[in-house]
Structure 1
C-alpha cells in the first residue's frame, strides 16, 4: 500500500517562472526593475488575504509579459491566487491612459462572460479588479486583478514542442484546445469589437476593439465589415513596423513589406470577401503560451483574455508550432521522399495539422448535435486561402529570419506568384510604397 508521500506533488506555477531571465534587451530589464521597486507587495498580499480569508505568502519568482507581471500567492491549505499587475506602458506604445483602462475593463468583462456562458472552458475566477485610480491600485502602485491560480503551467513553458508528446496525449490536448475555440465561435455578434461590459441581466456589450499597438486608434472600431477590419489591422501593424524600423536599423525589411503585401491582398483581391457578419467570438491568442495544463497535459485553464473579441472567421488559423510556410505541393513532395532532410519534421507537422483540423470537425459535430451549429465551418476555413494568409501575416515579426519566406508564401497564395515573378512584384510594391512609407512616418 502506497503512502501519501508517494502521490505526485502538485507543481506551483512559480516553479517554472523565470523572473528577470530573458529580459535583458532594449531596456526591458531596467523597466521591470523600476516596476519592482515601485510595487507595494504587502498591499497586494493583504488584499488577496482578505479575498481568501487566509494568510498568504508571495513567491519570489514572477512571470512578466509585455503588459502584465504575475505574482503567485499561496495559502496554507494550498489555494492559489495570482496577482496580475499592470506594467508601465510599453515604450513603443502610443495608447492613452483611457486605452489602458479600457484594456483591463474588457478583459474583466470577457472573463465574466465566458464563465457565465461556457461551463466547459476553464477560466480563472476573477476575484478583484482594481482599475487605475482606485484606492487599492494607488496603494499597490499599479492597476491589478486578482484571479484564481492553478497548479500547472503553460504548454509552452513545459514543452515547447507538442510533437514530442505521446500520440494519445497530443490527441487529447488538441481535442480540448479545438473544442474550446469552437464553443466560443458559437457565440456571434453583429459587429467586430471587444466585450466592454457584461452582466447576467443585460448580457454582453460589444464596443470598440481593445488594442495596445503603436497605432491603437487606427483599429479602434467597432467594425461592421470583415474586410474593413482586416485592412485596418494590416495598416496599423504596418505603421507599427515602420515606427520600429525608424528607431532600430536592424529591423528586418521583409516584416514591413510582409504587412504591406497582406494589406494589399485583403484590400485588392476577392480572397477576403468582406463578410458582413454575424461575427464569431474568438480568444485571439489561444496558443500554447496561454493554455495551462497539469503534469498529464490536461487543460486546467485558459488565460489572457485581454484581446478576445468578435472577429471575421478568417482569423481562425493554424497556430504555432504547426507550420504553414510550405505549399501543399512542397509538403506532398517531401512526404514522398523519406530521404529528404526535412522529412521527419514535415511528417510530424502534417500529422498534427490533420489532427487539429479533424478535432475541429468533431467539435463542430458535437455543437450541431446540441443544437448550436456554427455559421461557418472552422475545419473548412483552416484550409482556405484567407485563413492561411492571415496566419502567415500573424507570424511576421515574431520569429527572426522567417519574414521573407512568410511574405513569398503570401504572394503565392494571394496572387499566384512564385520565383522571379514574385520578386518583381515585390520590388514594384516596394517602389510604389516608398512615398507612402515616408507619409506614414511623418504622421
Structure 2
C-alpha cells in the first residue's frame, strides 16, 4: 500500500484565536456579550439550506473590529463562513444608517467584482441578511454566508513577512501587487463607494461608506482628490479632538499629527494635484485580509466594506513594511551594522524594494495586455503625498511613536527639521489647547 497520502487540509477555524488578543478597552466584554446574544442555531439552519445538507458550527471564531466569523461545515467537509455583524465599535460615531449603508456597499462591491473580474480572488456571497430581515432578527444580528476557503490570513501565518525567505516574499508580493494593479485598472470619474450594482445599470458610485473609527464621516461622492483628502483630514482631526477631550492625559502628538496633516492638505500643493480618473482600491489591503494556503498562494481577499474608487495617492507601503522614517534616518541605520534596529531595518527596506519592483512588473504586464494604468502606483509609493497619507494613518496605531511620526509629517510637508520643526509644532500645540477647551465648554 502506498504511503503517499495527501495531507488533510486545515480549515481556517483550526487556527482561529477566538478571545485571544482581545483583553483591552472592554473589547473582550463586547465579544462575550455578542456570543451570549447570538442564535447559532438560526445560522446553522440557514447554512444547511445553502449547502443542501445538515451543517455544524465551529466553536472557535475569528473576530475583527466589525465582524465575527464562524465555520458552518457539512458532513462531506464542504463549508461556508457566517460573517456576523458585531455590535457597534465603542469608538465609532457612525449612525445605524451609516452602518447599514456600509454593508450595502460591500455587498454591491462583491457582486460587481465577481461579475467583471476573474483574476481577483474573493469569496462568493451566498446570502446576505440585512438588519431587520426575518433571519437577521432570528440570528440576533445582520450576517452574510460566504464561500469558505482552505486558508488562513497572512497575518495569522507570519506577522513579519520581511523575515520570510526572499523567494517566499517574491511569491507573495507578485500576487499582492498583481491583485492591486488589476483592481486599479477599473477607474471612475468620481470618488466613492459602489452603492448599487446590477448587470443592467452597472456600478453606481455613492457616498464614501464608513463606520470608520478614524472619524471620516459618510460623505461624497467627491469629484476631486483634494476635496476627498480635505474630508479625510477633517474626520481625523474631529476624531483626535474627541479622544483628547475624553482623555486629557493622552499623548499630545496623537492630536497634533492629524492637525498637521489637515494643514498640509489645506496649505500646500502636495494633495491639490490629485487627478482623476480615480482607481478602485480595497482600502484595507493588509496581511489580515489576505487568505493564503500553506504554500503562500492567495486563495481569497476578504473584507470589502471600505473598498471604493479613490485618489491614487492613497496607495502606500503596507504593514508590515511601512515607510515611516526619513531617508536620512534609514540610511544612518543601514550604514551602522551595530545599530539595534539595523537587522529589522535592512530586511524591511529589502522587502519594500521588492514590493515596489513587483508593482512595476504588474504594471508592465497590464500594458502588454493593452490595459495600462493611468498612473504608476510604483511611482506614487515614493511620492510625498503617499508617504504623508501612510504616516498619518499610523498615528494612534503605532503607540509610543506619535511624536516621531508627527515630526516626519512636518519634514515631508514643510521641509522643516530641528529647531524650526519644534517651533512649528509648539505653535500648533498652543492653538490646539484652545480648540480642546472650546469643545469641553
Q: What is the TM-score when the length of structure 1 is the normalising length?
A: 0.96
Distance 1:215 1:3, change over 3 A: closer
Contact 1:219 1:236 in 2 (8 A): no
Equivalent residue for 2:412? 413
CA deviation vs aligned residue, 1:292-311 (integer Å, no higher than 9, x gap) = 01111111100000000011
Contact 1:219 1:233 in 2 (8 A): no
Q: CA offset at residue 112 of structure 1?
A: 1.1
Q: Could you say what secondary structure the match of 1:289 adopts?
A: helix
Equivalent residue for 2:258? 259
Equivalent residue for 2:368? 369
Equivalent residue for 1:188? 187
CA deviation vs aligned residue, 1:198-237 (integer Å, no higher than 9, x gap) = 1122211110011113686745111111111112111112
CA deviation vs aligned residue, 1:51-88 (integer Å, no higher than 9, x gap) = 11111111101111111111111122222211001111
Are 1:154 and 2:137 counterparts?
A: no
Equivalent-residue separation in structure 2 for 1:110 and 1:24 (angstroms): 33
Equivalent residue for 2:345? 346
Equivalent residue for 2:114? 115
CA deviation vs aligned residue, 1:381-420 (integer Å, no higher than 9, x gap) = 0000110111101111112111111111111111111122
Equivalent residue for 2:28? 29
Contact 2:123 2:301 in 1 (8 A): yes
Deviating more after overlay: 196-205 vs 351-360: 196-205
Contact 2:192 2:206 in 1 (8 A): yes
Deviating more after overlay: 206-215 vs 75-84: 206-215
Contact 1:213 1:240 in 2 (8 A): no
Equivalent residue for 1:125? 124
Give the aligned CA root-mean-square deviation in angstroms: 1.7
Deviating more after overlay: 87-96 vs 308-317: 87-96
Q: What is the TM-score when the length of structure 2 is the normalising length?
A: 0.96
Deviating more after overlay: 236-245 vs 221-230: 236-245
Q: CA offset at residue 113 of structure 1?
A: 1.2
Equivalent-residue separation in structure 2 for 1:320 and 1:346 (angstroms): 14
Contact 2:215 2:239 in 1 (8 A): no
Distance 1:60 1:256, change over 3 A: same
After superposition, residues 227-246 of structure 1 pair within 5 angstroms as: 227-246=226-245
After superposition, residues 390-409 of structure 1 pair within 5 angstroms as: 390-409=389-408
Distance 1:277 1:440, change over 3 A: farther
Equivalent residue for 2:51? 52
Distance 1:109 1:350, change over 3 A: same
Distance 1:441 1:14, change over 3 A: farther
Q: Could you say what secondary structure the match of 2:286 adopts?
A: coil
CA deviation vs aligned residue, 1:306-361 (integer Å, no higher than 9, x gap) = 00001111100001111312222222333233333322212111111111111010
Q: CA offset at residue 94 of structure 1?
A: 2.3
Q: CA offset at residue 90 of structure 1?
A: 1.7
Distance 1:333 1:104, change over 3 A: same
Distance 1:158 1:231, change over 3 A: same
Are 1:389 and 2:388 counterparts?
A: yes
Contact 1:242 1:256 in 2 (8 A): yes
Equivalent residue for 2:3? 3
Contact 2:216 2:232 in 1 (8 A): no
After superposition, residues 42-441 of structure 1 pair within 5 angstroms as: 42-213=41-212, 218-439=217-438
Q: CA offset at residue 131 of structure 1?
A: 0.5
Deviating more after overlay: 233-242 vs 178-187: 233-242
Contact 2:215 2:238 in 1 (8 A): no
Q: CA offset at residue 36 of structure 1?
A: 1.0
Equivalent-residue separation in structure 2 for 1:363 and 1:294 (angstroms): 22
Equivalent-residue separation in structure 2 for 1:290 and 1:250 (angstroms): 33
Contact 1:219 1:229 in 2 (8 A): no
